[in-house]
């Protein structure tokens, strides 16, 4: 524990969003929610400007390529009726429009290694790194909702969990080869009008890759960007996912709700990073957190209750099915999930295989999904956030939205963040620079030498 003379860790803050009317089912029905314009650029520009001016470091977009579906191709009617991860739009297309109206806010977009292709992924993020001035990050996922992806993308079958990570490893390696090795570092674009040389052919490198899952032979046609490689996020919580994160991620998104478990997870992730040859403190661990703030403790508790009461049991079960592949409505409510297996959300399912009945799981989903739930006055919330950070060793919070839009963050920005600054756990002046510099503290926008991607650079 820090002493009074020990400088406190200045935390990073992100805002957790999805380009949809809501994240948790039915919170769009709350009077403070404004979901009507979720598909418009203006809606997200207003939010980005609020976060930028308020001192947040980045805006994080989760992704749902599909929608909750059971093993028998059935989409529960509640999914469509109550907007349970339906509709969901593609956030990457909005980033340049958000970067244009902000000064320093970073952006993290989720993109799947199961659904995507390395060349297109590298091309997309390389382009957006240019357009955002080096403020883009990639949240690497292997994708939930595998059943729906079989139907929508033509996959022959649900890809087994460990095979998804093997494919993800090759996917990321191939992206890194393009970003870091496609162009030499030493002035590859002289843009010399007199000599007629825009790109130096000796410094644009042919990439050859023949792997188990992918092949690529050619040039990477995206000019070198500010970061080259976007800042890398990952959120896998299974043992295989933790190893993958320890190898590649610069920021790891966790969703623990218990202080002791979070502290153990932080210790485990840093140890795994060291086993990969990386400094344990080179990865930043950012935990999910939902803050509900009120003028009084009682008013905050009442608002939290309203949010928890909004989703129906049926909607919450559908949400769980999308993340885990398990339809809770198919089970006797008095049984447990002890013997249930899944190839989709193994770590999520494991959290609920603790003896609780299916009925208890469904009724508790509203409170147990997501990260820490912090409720109270601004002083109480700031105090608890300080305590959690000190007790767990996390490096920041990803603030989960409550209502959608600017209303979700207003009280947190206006009331809680000033108190966090007074405590010394937020910087007095908002961070700036590339996303990598802001979040990891590196002296340049480029990957550090300890990252495996740095070994793929072409220096000729």
Q: Decide: 251 and 232 in contact? Cβ < 8 Å.
A: yes
Q: Is the pLDDT of residue 119 over 80?
A: yes
Q: At 147, is the pLDDT very low, low, confident or very high (cuts 50, 70, 90)? A: low
Reply yes or no on whether the pLDDT at 374 is more than 80. Answer: yes
pLDDT tens-digit profile of 305-329? 888 777 778 888 888 887 777 888 8
**Given this model, what pLDDT does residue 262 score?**
96
Provide the pLDDT for residue 460: 41
Q: What percentage of residues in the chain have a pLDDT greater than 90?
A: 63
In terms of pLDDT, which residue wins out, 235 or 445? 445
- The predicted pLDDT at position 150 comes to 74
Higher pLDDT, 156 or 250: 250
Burial 372-406 (b: 16+ CB within 10 A, else e): bbbbbbbebbbbbbbebbeebbbbbbbbbbbbbbb
Tokens linked to 56: 């947040």
Please give the Cα distance from 367 to 372 (Å, whole number). Answer: 10
State yes or no: pLDDT of 46 exceeds 80: yes
Provide the 3-class DSSP secondary structure of residue 125.
helix
Residue 382 to residue 385: CA distance in whole angstroms: 5
d(CA 388, CA 359): 30
Cα 362 to Cα 55, 146, 184, 255, 282: the distances in Å are: 36, 22, 54, 19, 38
- Domains assigned to the chain: 12-309+372-451 (3.20.20.30)
Task: Give the per-residue pLDDT at 342.
Answer: 66
Distance between CA atoms of 403 and 387, rounded to whole angstroms?
Answer: 26
* Model pLDDT for residues 168-224, shown as the tens digit of each residue: 999 999 999 999 999 999 899 999 999 999 999 999 999 999 999 999 999 999 999
Average pLDDT of the chain is 90
Quick: pLDDT tens for 10-20. Answer: 999 999 999 98
pTM of the model: 0.92
Q: Is the pLDDT of residue 23 over 70?
A: no
For 283-304, the pLDDT digits (tens) are: 999 999 999 999 999 999 998 8
pLDDT in tens, 260-273: 999 999 999 999 99
Residue 14: other Cβ atoms inside 10 A: 26
Alpha-carbon separation of residue 338 from 72, 115, 315, 317, 341 (angstroms) = 22, 30, 23, 17, 9
pLDDT in tens, 83-103: 888 899 999 999 999 999 999
> 292's torsion region: left (phi>0), alpha (psi -120 to 50) or beta?
beta
Residue 336 C-alpha from the chain's centroid: 30
- Dihedrals φ, ψ of 8, to 5°? -80, 150
Examine the pLDDT at 71 and tell me if it is beyond 70: no
């Amino acid at each position: 524990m820090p002493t009074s003379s020990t400088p406190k860790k200045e935390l990073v803050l992100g805002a957790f969003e999805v380009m949809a009317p809501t994240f948790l089912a039915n919170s769009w029905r709350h009077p403070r929610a404004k979901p009507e314009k979720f598909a418009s650029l203006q809606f997200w520009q207003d939010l980005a400007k609020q976060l930028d001016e308020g001192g947040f470091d980045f805006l994080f977009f989760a992704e749902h390529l599909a929608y909750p579906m059971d093993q028998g191709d059935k989409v529960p009617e509640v999914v469509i009726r109550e907007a349970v991860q339906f509709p969901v739009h593609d956030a990457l297309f909005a980033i340049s429009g958000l970067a244009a109206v902000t000064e320093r806010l970073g952006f993290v977009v989720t993109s799947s290694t199961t659904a995507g292709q390395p060349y297109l992924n590298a091309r997309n993020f390389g382009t957006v790194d240019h357009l955002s001035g080096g403020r883009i990050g990639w949240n690497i996922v292997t994708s939930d909702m595998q059943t729906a992806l079989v139907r929508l993308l033509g996959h022959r079958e649900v890809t087994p969990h460990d095979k998804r990570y093997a494919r993800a490893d090759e996917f990321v390696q191939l992206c890194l080869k393009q970003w870091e090795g496609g162009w030499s570092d030493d002035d590859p674009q002289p843009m010399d009008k007199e000599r007629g040389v825009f790109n130096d052919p000796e410094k644009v490198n042919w990439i050859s890759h023949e792997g188990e899952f992918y092949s690529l032979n050619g040039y990477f046609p995206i000019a070198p960007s500010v970061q080259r490689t976007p800042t890398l996020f990952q959120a896998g919580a299974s043992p295989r996912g933790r190893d993958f994160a320890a190898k590649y991620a610069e920021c790891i998104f966790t969703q623990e709700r218990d202080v002791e478990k979070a502290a153990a997870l932080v210790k485990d992730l840093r140890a795994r990073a060291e086993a990969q040859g990386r400094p344990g403190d080179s990865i930043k661990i950012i935990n999910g957190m939902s803050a509900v703030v009120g003028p009084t403790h009682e008013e905050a508790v009442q608002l939290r209750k309203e949010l928890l009461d909004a989703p129906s049991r049926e909607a919450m079960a559908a949400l769980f099915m999308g993340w885990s592949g398990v339809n809770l409505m198919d089970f006797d409510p008095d049984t447990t999930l002890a013997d249930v297996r899944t190839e989709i959300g193994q770590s999520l399912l494991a959290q609920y295989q603790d003896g609780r009945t299916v009925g208890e799981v469904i009724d508790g989903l509203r409170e147990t999904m997501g990260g820490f739930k912090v409720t109270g006055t601004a002083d109480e919330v700031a105090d608890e956030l300080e305590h959690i950070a000190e007790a767990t060793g996390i490096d920041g919070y990803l603030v989960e939205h409550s209502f959608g839009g600017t209303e979700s963050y207003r009280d947190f920005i206006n009331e809680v963040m000033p108190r966090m600054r007074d405590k010394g756990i937020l910087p007095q002046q908002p961070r700036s620079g590339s996303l990598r510099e802001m979040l990891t503290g590196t002296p340049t926008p480029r990957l550090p030498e300890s990252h495996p991607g740095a070994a793929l650079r072409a220096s000729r």
